[in-house]
Structure formats: structure tokens, C-alpha cells
Amino acid sequence: MDRIDQIVARHADREGPLLPILHDVQAELGAIDTAAETRIAYLLNLTRAEVHGVVSFYHDFRAEPDPRPVVQVCRAEACQARGIEAMMPAVAAAAGDRVRVETVYCLGLCSVGPNARIGDDLHARLDEGALTKLVERA
Amino acid sequence: MGYAKQPDFGTPEVRSDHTVTLSIDGREVTVPEGTSVMRAAAEIGGDIPKLCATDMVKSFGSCRLCLVEVEGMRGTPASCTTPVTEGMVVKTQTPRLEKLRRGVMELYISDHPLDCLTCSANNDCELQDAAAEVGLRDVRYGYDGAHHLGQVPDLSNPYFLFAPDKCIVCSRCVRACDEVQGTLALTVEARGFDSKISAGTAKDDFLSSECVSCGACVQACPTSALMEKSVKQHGKPERSVVTTCAYCGVGCTFRAEMRGEQLVRMVPWKEGKANRGHSCVKGRFAWGYANHKDRITSPMIRDSIDEPWREVSWAEAISYTAGRLKDIRAQHGARALGGITSSRCTNEETFLVQKLVRGGFGSNNVDTCARVCHSPTGYGLKTTFGTSAGTQDFDSVEHSDVILVIGANPTDAHPVFASRMKRRLREGAKLIVIDPRRIDLVRSPHIEAAHHLPLQPGTNVAVLTAMAHVIVTEGLVDTQFVAERCEVDAFEDWARFVADESHSPERLEPVTRVPAEELRAAARLFATGGNGAIYYGLGVTEHSQGSSTVMAIANLAMATGNIGRPGVGVNPLRGQNNVQGACDMGSFPHELSGYRHISDAETRALFESDWGVTLDAEPGLRINNMLDAAVDGTFRAIYIQGEDILQSDPDTKHVAAGLEAMDCVIVHDLFLNETANYAHVFLPGSTFLEKDGTFTNAERRIQPVRRVMDPANGYEDWQVTQLLANAMGLGWDYGHPSEILTEIARLTPTFAGVTWERLCEEGSLQWPVNEANPDGAPVMHVDGFVRGKGHFVVTEYVPTDEKAGPRFPLLLTTGRILSQYNVGAQTRRTANTAWHPEDLLEMHPTDAENRGLNDGDWVRLASRKGETTLRIKVTDRVAPGVVYTTFHHPETQANVVTTDFSDWATNCPEYKVTAVQVSASNGPTDWQEDYADLAERSRRISHEAEGEPAE
């Protein structure tokens, strides 16, 4: 809990400190669990429901830590049109249980899809081979 | 009246000085500026289909059903979020709108179970109504795709259920919790298709959540997703009756929704002026005690309290009682008899009990349970302002800028008013809390007191005088107000007194333990922050200086000019539904109704000629004096209506000794309460659902109580009093409480214009209702004080004689909790015990550690008077050196430890300060064990017919 108290203290002077706090908690602790939600709510004088509502709204906030590497694959219309759906079985096979593959809807690179993202790096013009390689190396 | 839904205008009422005229479907309508198109349409009888809008919460614009066409505006705006403009031309029913609405509705229904016929909301469902309104005939999308059907309901709350498959995620419940109740316990979890109403975190259900079970979400729900379990059980109500809640002094009005004589649910009435359509867990849900198996419905008598009770007919009970009373009077004189009126009963019942005692028994030995709660309010405000009542209505809080709460815990004890106050605080009003304990208002979601002064129990007067010192010495007095409205000589005496250096916050800090700088800041804020309103409770009155504290509060309000307009004032939060009324009705031994002294020959003559009796000119005995006199042998018989003095009054052992010494104790109550253990006659009482009459709430609002079912005991309480009076030869012939109210109005100037018919027509009236105020007075002392000029009273701080010392180093203070009510006779007999099954002793971690005590341990709580055992809760809500408990459970009998110290002016007991010691314990004390034995023996009822074969 000390870590959370420190994070909250860091953002105490901001207007609307909740989202920056949640980002830091997710980054530093790997998850925002019920205990963390409860503590953040107490420190910000919010209800548990309010914090939980925000945490559960965003897919980037996780209730439990998952140490696996993450590959985000775009499956929105443009990437579908460029064949992403057909690649998904191979992606799943390459990922196995070791890599978490997340579906996202649009990375903003529609003209150069199919696209994927690992951390802050974007990967474009992927074919099945390139994509599975990305997953294997993640 | 048959069953009809309460009207719903879709969006809240807007107040504005400007009006706007527009045309809706060819009809002209004029509404206040800022009103929504939806509400404007509803005002002329139109009905735009809607799902996410309801007039208890702000518009939200999410359901897309209330679309309209507006001339000159592109598209189809949502009528709930579109404000009216001058000359606007609106069409609410066009082929284009029909098509759009039907499409939206089709999507809702495609993910909703089609089990209308077996649904508990059948025929009382806004989704069903909306489907009918838009003419939905077909749903083209089947259930083959993803859907939300078959989800498990949350049944954790004892009173309502949440069925997620019936939920359309309109978020009305979330917004009702946020805006109306101010608890913010609900949220919409996740997003998109996964959206779901959630009561807190993933680990919470409704019961474990921050939910306080006020019922606002259930009321807001358009479907059966949030539904009272009682409706599921009994079915849809078939009629409704508007009545007034019988719990606290807020006086919420409810619609009792009935099936035959079965109460199905209590729903707050939107037109109620005290609650404005809101409720709390007690009034909304905790009415099951009315049919509890413990309820006694046959009269019972016994010659001695060692005997079991004998059930008898009403005729026998009444003649037996009257006979005993007459014998005692013949032998010991009229002054050996007395009675206690109840703040739980109606004005009319209270009035009759004091009439019986004064006119029938022949003594003025009548007192009321207000003695032990707000008698100092009566004394203090009468002395300073000239009238024994609060100065404002509850609406006033909407205009306050600084709110000072002292010795009150509104979120627990007056929850509906607290919600209204919290709404104002969220709008930006500042809050000052003076309380030894960190009550929820000090810091709870979205609420934070600007200043919390955690004073040492018993030092109210010192703190308030120190605040006055700051106001006077720093030149913050409203000199114009004082000069125009108050007695200047008295003010100058007072100002000189408080300005003395000995009353500075710095000098008093060692006594009050309030940091001087914090106190100065609070005083400055109150004096300079705009409209300042003071709200107080029993933490003010239940002290040896209770009356002084009330006067110190009045001084503070006058000195800062905070009297006589909305947003300001001195507001006692009354503990019980009819404390104000019981006091108004002449329940005190020295006063006839309307606070006129019994020694005043003219007033006495008025009553004597009306009643045809001779009244004693001497004030009678107060409750505690009756008990003292009983021990001395001069007071022999008492008629107690609706009060459990053994559990509620201080120093339980002394109360028991007094009752035991009497020849005839008559208890008139719903249950065999603790006092009945010492009674010879038990007259079964009726609940507020079984009688007509009126209650007067904390804002002097007289409101009708209406009979919705026959009394289980056969008689309304006023009828029982009348039977007894007539058996004593008084010849009363009241046929209905309205006739008693007429008599009250005839004999009481402040009630002169009050009639039952008028109350039924107008809903409520705030006294005084007289020539000067024909329609009552929401705010008092507007142009001048009732007594003429406001009177400042010098309030010297005198420490209580109850002091902590080496043997009893801690100070105990007592209070109430949200889910339970006073001695718990009612709430303990409902599912409210889910929240508070036992009394706990709150103790600071340091004190607990010094004693080697852990959270949840059994401890012995001992004072100079007695001892009891209970479990502790370790919390920093209380300061070191202070412990706190509630008094809801007879097993604990917290009042075994409280003392018989009392207010110097009114004898209101000093419940709030008792020096105690707390130590580890293995089990109940001797007193608790002995008392449990006595209670068991004393509650025996002999059934002579028992064992015989049934015919």
C-alpha cells in the first residue's frame, strides 16, 4: 500500500489526478486490483464504485498482473480488408500461453495495415510470417 | 385512491424568473427558462417516450428514445437535453420519429427477457410502457447472438434485488445514488456490450458495498432490474395512501402502496416538502415490525410483576386499570399519579394523554420523552428568540453558504436531510463540524469539512464561547443586525463577557482540546462566509450545560446576523418523528399546549372552561422526579405511552428501582418492551400505519398520518386513551382525530388556522398558522423575533461534575447509527439487523493498545454507576481518551453506565459524557445476567387454555 500512497502523493496537486495515478499504478504494480482501487478511492475521497468504474472502462488497466509479453493486433475494418482475420489462427498458435495477444480496433495506420503494436513500437504492412515472427520474438 | 404511478416529468423542475413560450404539437406552453422540451411537453399532458430520463435526476441523453423534431433544427435532438427557447416549434409524434423510436426499442428488447407475464414489474414497467408507446410489433433480432440473459441476480440486500438480465443500463440508478442520495455507491462497470451496473469493486455485492439502502436506485429503475423483494413476493399494489414516516424528525412523506391490508412497499412521495421524494433505509424498508410475531395485540394485566401476564378483554383491562388508578388517587392523592406522552405518537394522542393526566388524574405530572432529548432546545430558543422551535424549513439549506454542524450526525440519524445538505456541500457550500467523533460528514466521498473541531465531550459551551470571542474581538459582529433586531444592553453584556481574554481559543485549548488556530479559522469562516446555518442534535442538548449550549448557538447566530431569511438559522435536528409536536402539545409538566405556563391563570381558565375541569396551578413532576418520588413512596402510578424508559433513560438501575416501587405501571406499546418488565397493565398499541392523526417534524411542519390498515390490537392509540379516560368518568366522545385537532387549534394560538381538512388539501402546514401567518411560516423571525428583540444570554462554561479520573480515565459518548433507531424496538425487528446486529464500543487504537485490546474483543465497560459488556471496534474516528457506543440493543443496555447528571435548566440527562474504564472481559456482567433472567420471567404470558384440545 505504501507504493500506492506514494503514487497518489505524487499527483496530489493535479486537477483530476485519477487517470495519471491509475497509469502509474498499472505501470509500477502491473495491475490495479480491488485493494488498490479501495486505497486510491480512500485517498482521493472518492467511492470504490467511482474508481472501479474508471478502471474497468479502460482495457489497459488490469485487475490482476500478467507478466507475459503483449502483442496488440488490429482487427478493425481496414486491417480486416487487408487480411488480418486469416492470419489469426497462426498468431494464436505462435503465441501459445507465452504471449498475450490482444485485439485492438485501429492503431491509426489504416493505409498500411495489417498493423500490430508491441509496447510503444508500431509494426505495419505485416504478413503472416512477419506477424508470427513478431509474436515469437515478443 | 386507486393505484396510479406518481407523475414523472422526465427532468427536474427548473426555477427561473424568466419564462419561455413555445409550441409543442400545436399547443402553446409557457415554462421557466431552462426547462427541457421533455418537461414542457409533460406539463401540457404530453408523453414523450423515455427510458434514461426521470425527474429525480438530471437529464443524461443516453437512451435515444425521446427524440423530437424542432423546426429549424437539424436532425432529431433528444428532448431531455434540449432546453426550450422562445418561439420554438416542436413535434413529438411524426412518422420519422416513430420509425427511429421503434428501431431503438427493437434493439433494447432484442436483449431483454420476454417474460413480462411472470415478471414482478408486469404492468408497472417503463420499458413495457415505452414499447407500447412506440408501437413495437416485431423484434427482428433473435437471441442467437451474444446477450445478457440468464445472469445471476444479486440478492444480498435484504430489501431489494438486482437482476442484471432485466437491466437496460440506463444508469438512472447510478445517477440517483450520485445526485439524490449522494453516496455514489454505484457505477457502470466496463464498457460497450460488457457494461453492467456494479455496486463498487469486483469483490462487492450490494450489501458489502458503500450502499446505504436508501432505495433511490430502486425508485429510479424503469424495469424490474432493481426491485423491492416485497413486490416480488406480494405483487403489484392496488392502491396507495399518502402518509408520514414514523421514524426520525425529518418527517418524510411516503405513499404506502397496498394490496388489501397488506403493505407492499413504502415509496417516498415526490410532493413531500420535507423529503422532496427521497427516503432512507428505515422509512423506505424497515416497516416489517408492524406484523412482527413479538407484537402484542391483546391487553394484559397482572397484580404483581412476579406473576405471569394474564390476557384479558379490553373492557376488563380498562376497568381494572381505571379501578387501580382511582384507588391510588383516593389513598395517596392526585399527585401520586402521572403519565408520559410519546414523541412517537400523533399530536392528537399526545394531547389526549396530557389532557387525561391534567384533567382526569388531576395532577400536572405529565412529561414526555423529549425531556431526554430536546427539552434544552425548547428552553434555550424560547429564552433567546421567543419560541421553542427551529427557525427554518429544510429547503433553506439550499441557500446556505456555510453550514455549522454541532453535536449531530445527520448521515446516520437524519439521512434524508443529510442528503439534501450534502447536495448543497457538493455545490460548494463550506462545512464546519464540531463533534468529538469524526462523523461521516467530516470526510466522506465528495464531502470534506473545511474545519473539524474534535472537542473533548462536555466542552460545547467553551468552544462556542471561544468562537464568539473571535467574532467579537476581531470585529466580525453584524452590528446592524444586532442594533436593529436585538436587545442592545444584553448584547453589550454578552460581548464584554465573551471578549474577556479568559474565553480566547488559546486559553481554552487545554479544556476543549481544539487547536486554537483551527477554532479561530472556523469562527472567521462562519462569520464571513455568507449565509451561515447551524444544525445541531443531541450532542448539544444531552449535557449538563445543554440549555447553555443552545443559547450559545442562538447568540452566535444573532451576532453574525444569521436569522430571519432562507439559508441561515438555528436548526435543531429532532430525533423522533414527533418531538416537536409532543412539545407543542403541552407534554411538559409546566406548560399547556403552545408553551404557555400552567401558572398563567388566563390560559388555565381557557382550558378549564373548555374541558370542564379544574387544573392544578402548580407544575408537576418531570420523569426523573417521578422516579425519585416513586422511590420515596409519594408517586405510585404511571401511564407510559410509547416510550421504553427503562432502556432509553439514563441510569437504568435507578429507573428500575423507581418503576419497581410503583403500585401501578401502565405500559401502552407495540411490544413487551423493557419497561413492561415492571408493568402491571399492558395496553397494546397501534402502529403509524393503523391510525389517523398528525406528526410535526423538525421544521414545525404538521403533516397528516393516515390509517392504511385496521389496528391489529383493535384500537388506535387515542381511542385507548379515551377508553381509559371514560372509565375514569371523563365522558369524552371524540369520533376521529380531526376532532381532537380542532380542539387543539381552538386552544392553541400557534395552531389557530390548522384543520384536518386543510392539511389533507395542502399536504402540510408549518406553524405558526395564525392571523399573522395564515399559511404558516417556513422561516421564522423574518421581520422581528417572536419575543420582540433577540436576547443574548451570557453562557459561562461550567465543567460537568462527571469527570475522568484515575479509576475512570475515558469519556464515553453515545449516539445512533443509520440502520437502527433509538432503543431499536422497531428496527431490531426488521432485516436492518443485517447492518448492525449489536452495539459496538469505538475506541482509539492507542487506548486499545494500552489495554491490550484488539478489534472485536469483548470488553467490560464500567462507570461509577454500573457496568456492561460489549465488543470493541478499534478506530481513529474517536480521539484518544474518548469512547463511543450506540444504545440500540437491550442486551448491551448502554444506559446502565450513564449517570443521572442532567441539564441545569431542564433535567435533560447528560448521556453524552460518562467517565468510564474499559477492560478485557469474558462475558456478560452480573447485571446483564440478572436482567436477562428478570426479562424472561417478566415476559411470561399464562395461557390457561393451553393443553386443551382444539375445538
B538 has a pLDDT exceeding 70: yes
Distance from CA of B196 to the nearest CA of A (A): 10
pLDDT digits (tens, 9 = 90+) for B222-246: 999 999 999 999 999 999 999 999 9
Interchain CB distance below 8 Å, B187 and A53: yes
Checking if the pLDDT of B950 tops 70, the result is no
Shortest Cα distance, chain A CAs vs residue B204, angstroms: 9
B63/chain A closest Cα distance in angstroms: 19
Query: Can you read off the three cell numbers belonging to residue B23?
Result: 409550441
pLDDT range class, residue B501, cuts 50, 70, 90: very high
Contact B740, B620 (CB under 8 A): no
* CB-CB under 8 Å, B191 with A47: no
> Which chain A residues contact residue B209 at CB under 8 A?
48-49
Interface ipTM:
0.91
Q: Is the pLDDT of residue B947 over 50?
A: no
Tell the burial category of B330 from Cβ atoms under 10 Å away from its Cβ (0-12, 13-18, 19+): exposed
CA of A57 to nearest chain B CA: how many angstroms apart? 4
Cβ separation of B445 and A37 shorter than 8 Å? no
Question: What residue ranges of chain A have pLDDT lower than 50?
Answer: none
pLDDT in tens, B713-724: 999 999 999 999
End-to-end CA distance of chain A: 31
The 3 state secondary structure assigned to B457-502 is: CCCHHHHHHHHHHHHHHCCCCCHHHHHHHECHHHHHHHHHHHHCHH
Name every chain B residue with its beta carbon within 8 A of the beta carbon of A45.
443-448
Has residue B946 got a pLDDT over 60? no
How far B706 CA sits from the closest chain A CA (Å)?
39
Residue among A49, A50, A51 whose CB faces B199 most closely: A49
CB-nearest to A45 from B190, B204, B446 is B446
pLDDT at B343 over 90: yes
Find residues 60-89 of chain A whose CB sits inside 8 Å of chain B: 63
Q: Do B445 and A47 touch (CB under 8 A)?
A: yes
pLDDT at site B900:
82
Query: Which domains, and CATH codes, for chain B?
Result: 19-134 (3.10.20.740), 160-291 (3.30.70.20), 322-373+579-766 (3.40.50.740), 375-572 (3.40.228.10), 810-938 (2.40.40.20)
CB pairs under 8 A between A and B: 58
CA dist., res. B736 & res. B742, Å (int): 10
Cell triple for B281: 433505509
Spatial contact of B50 and B3, defined as CB atoms under 8 Å apart = no
Question: What residues of B are in contact with residue A62 (Cβ under 8 Å)?
Answer: none
Q: Which of residues 28-47 of A touch B (CB under 8 A)?
A: 34, 37-38, 41, 45-47
Q: Which residues in A lie closer than 8 A to residue B176 (C-beta atoms)?
A: none
Q: Residue A123 phi/psi, 5° resolution?
A: -125, 125
Q: Give the model's pLDDT for residue B269.
A: 96
- Answer yes or no: is pLDDT of B582 > 50: yes
Report the residue of chain B nearest A42, measured CA to CA. B445
CB contact under 8 A, A52 and B203: no
Q: Which residues contact A97 (CB under 8 A, 6 or more apart)?
A: A68
Beta bridge partners of B693: B705
pLDDT number for residue B944: 58
**For residue B562, what is the DSSP state?**
-
pLDDT at B926 over 90: no
> Of the ranges B296-310, B423-437, B751-765, B814-828, which one carries the lowest mean pLDDT score?
B814-828
Cβ distance B201 to A53 less than 8 Å, yes or no, reads no
Could you tell me which residue, B744 or B146, shows the higher pLDDT?
B744
| Type and span of the H or E element at B758 | helix B756-762
Record: contact A34-B209, CB cut-off 8 A: no
- Please report, rounded to a whole number, the percentage of residues in chain B having pLDDT higher than 90: 87
CB-nearest partner of A37 from B191, B201, B448: B201
Q: Nearest Cα to A87, choosing from A68, A115, A52?
A: A115
Question: Each residue of B42-54: pLDDT tens digit?
Answer: 999 989 999 999 9
Query: Angle at CA B918, nearest 5°, toward B914 and B923?
Result: 120
> B179, B201, B446: best mutation site toward chain A, by most A Cβ within 10 Å?
B201
pLDDT single digits (tens) B928-944: 888 888 888 888 988 75
Please state the rounded mean pLDDT for residues B19-34: 96
Q: Compare CB distances from B191 to A45, A52, A57 and report the shortest one's residue.
A: A57
User: Which chain B residue has the Cα nearest residue A43?
Assistant: B445
**pLDDT tens figures, B169-209:** 999 999 999 999 999 999 999 999 999 999 999 999 999 99
Q: What is the DSSP string of B228-245?
A: EHHHHHH-S-SEEEEEE-
- For residue A80, how far is the Cα from the chain centroid? 21
Q: Which pLDDT belongs to residue B846?
A: 96
CB B485 within 8 A of CB B563: yes
Is the Cβ pair B200, A57 closer than 8 Å? no
With beta carbons less than 8 A apart as the criterion, state whether B52 and B172 touch.
yes
Cis upstream peptide for B778 (omega within 30°): no
Q: What is the pLDDT of residue B895?
A: 82
Tell whether A12 lies on the interface with B, counting CB pairs under 8 A: no
CB nearest to B184's CB, from A38, A47, A63:
A47
pLDDT digits (tens, 9 = 90+) for B348-391: 999 999 999 999 999 999 999 888 888 899 999 999 999 989 99
Does the beta carbon of A57 lie under 8 angstroms from any beta carbon of chain B?
Answer: yes
Per-residue pLDDT reduced to its tens digit, B874-899? 999 999 999 999 988 888 877 888 88
Q: Are B721 and B349 in contact (CB under 8 A)?
A: yes
Residue whose C-alpha cell reads 438555528 in the numeric block = B570
Smallest Cβ–Cβ distance between A49 and the set B185, B190, B444 belongs to B185
Q: Among B257-261, B674-678, B802-806, whose mean pLDDT is lowest?
A: B802-806
Using DSSP's 3-state secondary structure scheme, residue A77 falls into helix
Using one digit for the tens of pLDDT, what is the confidence trace for B133-168?
Answer: 999 999 998 778 888 999 999 999 999 999 999 999
Taking the mean position of all CA atoms in its chain, how far away is CA B258?
A: 23
User: Cell triple for residue B267?
Assistant: 415509496
Interface contact flag, B198 A53, Cβ < 8 Å: yes
Interface residues from chain B to A (CB-CB < 8 Å): 183-191, 198-204, 209-210, 443-448
Q: Measure the N-to-C terminal CA separation of chain B; round to a whole number of Å.
A: 41
Residue B33 is classified by DSSP as T
Mean pLDDT of all residues in B38-42? 97
**pLDDT at res. B822:** 83
What are the backbone angles phi and psi of residue B765, rounded to the nearest 5°?
Answer: -140, 140
Contacts of residues A96-102 at CB distance under 8 Å and 24 or more positions apart, as own/partner, are A97/A68, A98/A68, A98/A69, A99/A68, A99/A69, A99/A70, A99/A71, A99/A135, A99/A138, A100/A66, A100/A68, A100/A69, A100/A70, A100/A71, A101/A70, A101/A71, A101/A72, A101/A73, A101/A135, A102/A59, A102/A70, A102/A71, A102/A72, A102/A73
Q: Is residue B942 a contact partner of residue B308, using CB atoms and an 8 Å limit? A: yes
- Name the grid cell of B874: 478499534
Buried b (16+ CB within 10 A) or exposed e, B866-881: bbbbbbbbbbebbbeb
Q: What is the dihedral of CA B652, B656, B657, B663, to 10 degrees?
A: 150
pLDDT of B1 higher than 80: no
pLDDT of residue B825: 85
The angle formed by the CA atoms of residues B77, B81 and B86, to the nearest 5 degrees, is 80
Count of other CB atoms within 10 angstroms of residue B294:
13
CB contact under 8 A, A56 and B198: yes
Q: Which residue of B has its CA nearest to A37?
A: B201
CA distance A120 to chain B (A): 24
pLDDT of amino acid B945: 46
Which residue out of B183, B186, B187, B208 would a mutagenesis test of the A interface target, given it has the greatest number of A Cβ atoms within 10 Å? B187
Q: How many residues appear in chain B?
A: 951
CA B61 to chain centre: 35
Residues B386 and B414 sit within 8 Å (Cβ to Cβ): no
Q: Are strands B681-684 and B693-696 parallel, antiparallel or unpaired?
A: unpaired
